[in-house]
Chains A and B, each alone.
Chain A
């Protein structure tokens, strides 16, 4: 690519980054300006971002909970579906609680199943923990004998058949049509109860309630005596799966026990942000000052590259989006210090070439060319470490804590991006602004 084209590319990239980095609302000469959000729809491709920085709970305040699932009483084969059902159950309850953007994950470590719950901004944790910690209550309900078709949900009465009597729920496929349906298997006791219920409710609905909310209300076609029922309907595969999971929450109840809890008050988070932003700016000023004093004009251009680096990084955080944590900010700030390394390597090489009598332009190109090996080596090790710390494949033998990952992600992104700004951007700026100049 021609140097001019690279320069314009950088200008466009920087302008776009500034646009993304703008706060959602700001004022110029007391005129309010709203930054639009990104919303792109092209065929199946959909990309929309509100362009706000996502803050982890250590910054925004909130609660981080880890539950251990007790799967002792569940057959090994059913454990995964049981934990899936428990997760689903927690999701449902958290949504009831009205938490914005909760994160609920399962993780398996050896024989242990864990449920990790992150609730940003939740202050009254005790209620949340109590609510999440309860196992799901599933029960089957019928309409009283005299009920008409006008009966509503409140008219359904308990039958005494509960989740305890259900041993498993599974997605099945009709052997003829291949349509997905949901199969239910009852225990011996449950089969007896279910036979009685279905016998007296032929052609009438039997409702299944989960935590007092109806999950499904199928019609009984005929008495079912063998303890295995099938719920058919116009299910998509997704719907059938969802229903099976919900029913399993009652069939395979998993008691969960809290093993880790972290609450961060919102004040602490706000203070942390303010302090680290302040620290970052002062550090940046020191680096810019140092580079300018030591390398003169070259340093000014490297600093300009550094500012562009900062702008693009911030834009990437918003576009990905990266959930920023306190350790993530530290990773970013550290990467700013490391970002100038490529420039320092190059400038030192340039100085050497100039000392050995090469003209400026040639020294510059040689400096960039020869420093590349060192720059690559300098960054490969850091990227390897970031990879291990970030643990992108969720290997269970490695750490998956949010703090460590936040740090690894921002540091890794920063190092990768600094290669671009340190080499491409600074070189383009140098070629453009330094023609015929003489380095110190």
Chain B
């Protein structure tokens, strides 16, 4: 199969996701959670029969002096309130007020409050972790492939996946209010390693064929390697995707977006190892030939 004939189509598909994502990232940025900004997250559940609107909770919040809070329905009669840092006493006052206004006392199922110092610390720790992971993975790729060609292309594919993930979460944040928290960072680091290992498997095969058939031209070898590894790559990703989709749909709201991040990363990582990292190699070779 001549996979690489369509390489511009593959880049176009990537661009369809990357361009809107990048624009959104530059315009709207990411929506940080209280893990990064500091603040309070309160989840309340009402047991009674009466239906409750988010507006009713908003007005109760105003009445006890907690301004500019956001209220989101997070399940049947369950509400997620995000606000500035409030104390446990303030939360109790709010619950009492809600109980009086709505004639049913809410059950507090989650109360999280993070001071602003911790948020800043987390930000710097996150950056260090990402840089550290990238450097170590880079070092690994470099040691596996002595030549710079493979290493650089593998890392470009890794950046492709990170950008896809960040861009889509920027869009999700803007349109659905999805937040970026500590777990998102975890997902991102996991995806970095997944992206690289999937690419390494394809590259390994290309180099092996190069040794076995030194006379054959590079593009033919690459097509052969892609044909040989594609079903493995797809099957492996499918099993991971099965687990993740099941977890996304049934796993409950707390880890839903964490799983979504892993899912996006897995799909992008699988795509990029065959349809980004490999075409990049071909282009690299063509440029080298053109110079000669």
Which residues from chain A sit less than 8 Å from chain B, CB to CB? 58, 66, 68, 109, 112, 125-126, 129, 259-265, 267-268, 271-272, 275-276, 278-280, 282-284, 286-287, 290-291, 294, 326-327, 330, 333-334, 336-338, 340-341, 344-345, 348, 352, 373-374, 377-382, 384-385, 388-389, 397-399, 401, 403-404, 407-408, 411
Contacts and interface: CB of A to CB of B under 8 A. Distances in A.
Contact of B113 (A260, A377, A385): A260
Given A336-B243, A399-B129, A408-B186, A126 B88 contact: yes
A275 B122 contact: no
Given A66-B118, A287-B243, A341-B236, 7 more contacts: A125-B111, A272-B255, A286-B243, A291-B239, A337-B244, A385-B189, A388-B132
Contacts of B17: none
Given A263-B108, A388-B132, A286 B246 contact: yes
Contact of A401 (B115, B132, B182): B182
B126 interface: yes
A330 B43 CA distance: 22
Contacts of A338: 236, 239-240
Contacts of A382: 190, 193-194, 197
29 contacts: A68-B115, A112-B117, A125-B111, A126-B89, A129-B88, A260-B114, A260-B118, A262-B110, A263-B110, A263-B111, A265-B109, A267-B45, A276-B251, A279-B247, A280-B246, A287-B239, A290-B242, A330-B262, A334-B190, A334-B244, A337-B240, A337-B244, A340-B236, A348-B231, A381-B193, A382-B193, A385-B133, A398-B129, A408-B186
B135 to A, nearest CB: 10
B192 interface: yes
Contacts of B245: 283
Contact of B183 (A340, A404, A411): A404
Interface string B118-156: 100110111011001100110010001000000000000
Task: Report whether over half of chain B's contact residues are helix, strand or loop; otherwise say mixed.
Answer: helix
Contacts of B246: 279-280, 282-283, 286, 333
Nearest to A401: B182
Interface string B188-211: 011011101110110010000000
Contacts of A373: 204
B131 to A, nearest CB: 10
Nearest to B201: A374
A126 B190 CA distance: 37
Contacts of B113: 260-262
Contacts of A380: 140, 197
Contacts of B193: 381-382, 384-385
Given A66-B118, A275-B250, A374-B201, A388 B189 contact: yes
Given A280-B246, A327-B186, A399-B129, A334 B262 contact: yes
Contacts of B15: none
Contact of B112 (A262, A279, A352, A404): A262
A403 B125 contact: no
Interface of B: 43, 45, 88-89, 92, 107-115, 117-118, 121-122, 124-126, 128-129, 132-133, 136-137, 140, 144, 182-183, 185-186, 189-190, 192-194, 196-198, 200-201, 204, 228-229, 231-232, 235-236, 238-247, 249-252, 254-255, 258-259, 262
Among B112, B232, B243, B258, max chain A CB count under 10 A is at B243
Given A334-B240, A408-B186, A282 B250 contact: yes
Given A286-B246, A337-B241, A397 B232 contact: no
Contacts of A279: 246-247, 249-251
Contacts of B126: 399
Given A294-B235, A399-B129, A276 B252 contact: yes
Contact of A286 (B110, B128, B242): B242
